[in-house]
Amino acid sequence: MDSFLQEVEAFKQQWPEIEYIDLIFPDINATPRGKRVPASSLDKLVKGIALPLSTISLDTKGNVVEAAGLGEALGEPDHFCFPISGTLVCSANPKVGQVLLTMTEDNAAISHPLCPRTIVENMLDALHQKAQYPVIALELEFYLLDRNRDPNGELQTAINPAKNQREKDTEVYHLDGLDDYSDFLHDLNTLAQQQGLNTSGALSESAPGQFELNFNHSKNVLKACDDIILAKRLIKQIARKHGFDATFMAKPFSHQAGSGQHVHLSLVDEQDNNLFAQTDGTNTSLFYQTISAILAQANSAIALLCPNVNSYRRFTPGSYVPTVANWAENHRGVALRVPLSDGKNRRIEHRIAGADVNPYLLVATVLNSVLTSYKYLAEQCPTPLNEQAQCLPTRMHEALAQLEAGELTEMFPHEFIKLFLACKKAELADFERFITPLEIDWMLHSA
């Protein structure tokens, strides 16, 4: 931990005005949990900080899911968490810094196998042993919202700060629209740079008040996932500062585009040669094997990629969201898109997940397919835009059933799949017990 103590000294010199530190441990939904401590106690983190093991298994409301077996039945045991190198950074609050934590096993020697970050870490180790090094870039979509609901309690799009009117028009890639939100974007970009986030800029997306934050390609896969955790927190903090709400719901508006979290994947060797392309720029067998693996495993994995009831509202035809497990080159309507690229930059864009996905589980799902691609022959790869492609599950209960019956446990720990299923089945049961205003409107007098 000597390196962390060096980080602490450098941090205190750079940010002497910071008085407190938020210790962030992402739960199974990637929601930041943890504690706020005085900055003066940063040095003590080298000894670890105790958090309940059940923090992994919190639902979207922050309650322990007892069915997951990590809570009261075990006596709510604590496990030591330790800071992740390189994540001690400032926050949007000038008096508060932050650092990400990882949880360890009982002996505090190894990362806990039920943590999604640990799953990615273990998969990367397995790939590196094969001299395969993933390079990824993430794209994160979100909405800025009015903090006030309409008279019916519904969400409202943001009020444009320059025009002083509510957003209602679709303006994809609209540059002047970015000018209207220049104060928000300036603060976002400034803090993103100060936090060392590997971002490459923001753009207007395909719905009123919707934006996309892009990240640069990186071989540091774990940091790329960490950056998403910090970026989502930062976006929400900056939005509040400017009078907005920000949401990463997959489908906040029924008649507008949903928000996705896409990942671009390429694979290189120790000399940074792209393993998806040959020297003449044509695709390699591994390229087709990887596509085959991702598509074959898509139904089993979709519960991990779309973890909430709202996630499945996004799957509507004609909205550039895939409803079948297919692929194509330079086509945004498919599950796997191969962007325009030369041999050096050949990559696969995975387009299934919503913005509400845990980034570690999104990346782990893709890496799992890379690790198991040897089971598939290049000749087995479906043709682009295959009309026989399997339909993706579009309901949460279908997706959970597919995960339970699937074959992801070769690289995903069996105990983690059990934990995830317990948490999500409990959430779905809670949701289905709720009586909605819509069903009352439909059924009150017609039943």
Dihedral angle of Cα 306, 414, 78, 119, to the nearest 10 degrees: -60
- Looking at residue 138, its pLDDT comes to 98
pLDDT, tens only, 364-416? 999 999 999 999 999 999 999 999 999 999 999 999 999 999 878 778 999 99
How many beta carbons lie within 10 A of that of residue 74, not counting itself?
A: 11
- Looking at residue 162, its pLDDT comes to 86
- Looking at residue 410, its pLDDT comes to 75
Closest CA to 261 of 321, 316, 313, 177: 321
What is the DSSP track for 90-149? E-SSTTEEEEEEEEB-TTSSSB-TTSHHHHHHHHHHHHHHTT-EEEEEEEEEEEEEESS-
Residue corresponding to tokens 């392309």: 277
Torsion sign, CA atoms 393, 307, 138, 279: negative
Assigned superfamily of 2-111:
Glutamine synthetase, N-terminal domain (3.10.20.70)
Asked whether the whole model's pTM tops 0.85, one would answer yes
Q: Residue 177: which pLDDT band, with cuts at 50, 70 and 90?
A: low
Alpha helices in 243-395, H assignment, sequence order: 285-305, 359-371
- Looking at residue 409, its pLDDT comes to 73
Which is it for strands 210-215 and 327-329: parallel, antiparallel or unpaired?
unpaired
Number of H helices, E strands in the chain: 10, 16
- Which pair of tokens denotes residue 350? 């995975």
- CA 352, CA 290: separation in Å to the nearest integer? 16
- Looking at residue 4, its pLDDT comes to 92
Mean pLDDT of the residues in the chain: 94
Name residue 249's amino acid. Answer: M
Residues for the chain: how many in total? 447
Do residues 358 and 220 touch, judged by C-beta distance below 8 A? no
Do residues 229 and 32 touch, judged by C-beta distance below 8 A? yes
- CA 412, CA 189: separation in Å to the nearest integer? 35
- In 243-334, the DSSP E strands lie at 244-247, 261-268, 327-329
| Domain boundary assignment for the chain | 2-111, 125-412
> Which comes out higher in pLDDT, residue 200 or 299?
299
> Which comes out higher in pLDDT, residue 320 or 362?
362
Q: Residue 67: which pLDDT band, with cuts at 50, 70 and 90?
A: very high
- Which pair of tokens denotes residue 390? 């399997």
Buried-state track 409-424, b at ≥16 Cβ within 10 A, e below 16: eebbeeebbebbbbbb
Burial class (CB in 10 A: 0-12, 13-18, 19+), 152: exposed
How many beta carbons lie within 10 A of that of residue 134, not counting itself?
A: 23
- Looking at residue 171, its pLDDT comes to 60
Return the biggest CA–CA distance within the chain. 70
What is the DSSP track for 17-46? T--EEEEEEE-TT--EEEEEEEGGGGGGGG
- Looking at residue 176, its pLDDT comes to 62
With a CB cutoff of 8 Å and minimum separation 6, the contacts of 446 are none
pLDDT, tens only, 335-347? 999 999 999 999 9
One of 2.40.70.10, 2.40.170.20, 3.40.50.300, 3.30.590.10 is the CATH number of 125-412, namely: 3.30.590.10
- Looking at residue 447, its pLDDT comes to 86
- 232: which strand partners? none
pLDDT, tens only, 105-130? 987 789 999 999 999 999 999 999 99
- CA 187, CA 155: separation in Å to the nearest integer? 24
Q: Residue 23: which pLDDT band, with cuts at 50, 70 and 90?
A: very high
Closest CA to 266 of 240, 298, 233, 291: 291
- Looking at residue 172, its pLDDT comes to 52
Distances (CA, A) of 404 to 90, 357, 360: 40, 18, 20
* pLDDT above 90 for 164: no
* pLDDT above 80 for 322: yes
* pLDDT above 70 for 283: yes
